[in-house]
Amino acid sequence: MEYRIEHDSMGEVKVPADKYWAAQTERSHENFPIGVGIETMPAEIIRAFGILKKAAARANHALKPEKMTDEKLAAISQAADEVIEGKLMDHFPLVVWQTGSGTQSNMNANEVIANRANEIAAAAAGAADGQAGNTGAGQKSSAAAGQAARLCHPNDDINMSQSSNDTFPTAMHISAVTALEDRLIPAVDKLIAAFRVLEEKHEGIVKSGRTHLQDAVPIAFSQEISGWRSSLERDVELVRLAMKPLSELALGGTAVGTGLNAPEGFSEKVAEEISALTGKRFVTAPNKFHALTSKDEIVFAHGAVKAMAADMMKIANDVRWLASGPRCGLGEIRIPENEPGSSIMPGKVNPTQCEQVTMVAVQVMGNDAAIGFAASQGNFELNVFMPVIAYNFLQSVRLLSESIGAFTDNCVVGIEADRDKMHHNLYNSLMLVTALNPYIGYENAAKTAKLAYKENISLKEACVRLGFLTADRFDEVFHPEEMV
């Protein structure tokens, strides 16, 4: 491998010649060999850095044009766009398990964008040189190309008016809002729509309800499905509610929240620019001391994600219980048979989509604990557990989004009610005796149910044998389908 020599305030460092990163990234790459290639900084965070660096350059250009020139802005903007588009991901090698402020990932972004911007500026100057030919203007343009190679400095230009301490929490909020709005909510909305179709398709089917895994009074299958749908609709409401605090950005607080070295108006201007770039509403955090030290917005938002995971766990369990069998279980619904379920039992098919949902739900719940613990840490002016918070949050949203999508497409849309089994279970349920309470009283109804269970006879036979109702009167008042 070929190397070049880069330097920082601590001295010279060898860096792979084909990479845009520089000395500080390389030091982190060498000092934190933890989860390399596996637990790298999430792509969503890298993209958010591209957005905020471009927005910062625009804001600086408006507020400090003598420092952020037109030439610098153009080169930085193009380089940042390549980061946003994911074209430079190979130049972001750092792992989650680094400094808790995310400083090294901020510098990774600064170095990559600076070196790529310098390359862009040099190419532009070289193109101008080619057009000028061998004239005096050409000699002048060659000198400009040499200057362009040193146009942007990672700290002085890409990091202008910023600190790692305000950029990383800003990247967290940008990536969190984007992931929730663009990935999770659309996935859940699709599942909600699928449940609504199932409700309409199975309208009028009455089945036995269940509580405590025991028979309960009747319920319409469409009502049962509506409970699943409504749970998810409420979860979306909670996620949207949690997104509002995430719209507040720490950028402009710099190192400790005082805004040192950031020009007046930078906080507001950079939030406007980020909003313009993302198409989402972001505002500057009213108290930067809070924005740097507290991660309560992320904790709150992940709580909403966890609530959705909890509901998905419940829904997936309901589906696999109802589909259990095919002969020795409840067997009230049929779900798609996607793959063989056993290497030894021929013909066995398992509820695999339900199982992936429940495993993802468990992971999200575990991530919630990690995020909560991490948010409680850090001393004085900075939380220093931000990379692990970002990693777990974005993993939860990604996993849950993809899990819900697979569950919708490969299970829910193919759910079919077994009407015969539902009818059999309904009329075999002892809890239908509840319909007799108004006519024979609770205690006599209980005696009827117990006799029917003990003698393995119908409720009608038990009620008539005990003398509580005649056979005709029983038929007159006993209508399970009307109990829903």
Establish whether 202 is a catalytic residue.
no
- The verdict on domain 164-205+222-416 having CATH code 1.10.1040.10 is no
Active site residue 212: yes
Q: Residue 30 in contact with residue 94, Cβ under 8 Å? A: no
* pLDDT tier for residue 144 given thresholds of 50, 70 and 90: very low
Q: Is the pLDDT of residue 134 over 90?
A: no
Q: Where in the chain is the domain with CATH 1.10.40.30?
A: 429-483
Q: Is 66 exposed, middle or buried (0-12, 13-18, 19+ CB in 10 A)?
A: exposed
Q: Which fold has domain 429-483?
A: Ribonucleotide Reductase Protein R1; domain 1 (1.10.40)
The closest alpha carbon to 298, from 183, 393, 180, 164, belongs to 393
- 412: tokens are 């829910």
- Residue 351 — left, alpha, or beta (φ > 0 → left; ψ -120 to 50 → alpha)? beta
Cβ burial of 348 (10 Å; 0-12, 13-18, 19+) is exposed
Q: Could you tell me if 348 and 340 are in contact, meaning their C-beta atoms sit under 8 angstroms apart?
A: yes
Question: What is the pLDDT, as a whole number, of residue 138?
Answer: 44
The per-residue pLDDT for 150 is 87
Q: How confident is the model at residue 139 (pLDDT cuts 50, 70, 90)?
A: very low
Given the residues 7, 230, 342, 479, the one annotated as active site: 342
Residue 126 has a pLDDT of 83
Give the separation between CA 351 and CA 337, rounded to whole angstroms: 8
Average pLDDT, the chain: 95
Residue 38 burial class via C-beta count within 10 angstroms: exposed 0-12, middle 13-18, buried 19 and up: exposed
Write out pLDDT tens, residues 438-455: 999 999 999 999 999 999
What are 112-133's pLDDT values in tens digits?
999 999 999 999 988 876 665 5
Confidence tier at 145 by pLDDT (50, 70, 90): very low
| Predicted local distance difference test score (pLDDT) of residue 181 | 98
Summarize pLDDT for 32-80 with one digit per residue, the tens. Answer: 999 999 999 999 999 999 999 999 999 999 999 999 999 999 999 999 9
CATH 1.10.275.10 residue window(s) in the chain: 3-158
Residue 207 tokens read as 């089945």
- Closest by CA to 202, choosing from 355, 338, 351, 334, is 334
Query: Top-level CATH class of 3-158?
Result: mainly alpha
Question: Which among 212, 230, 290, 396 is annotated as catalytic?
Answer: 212
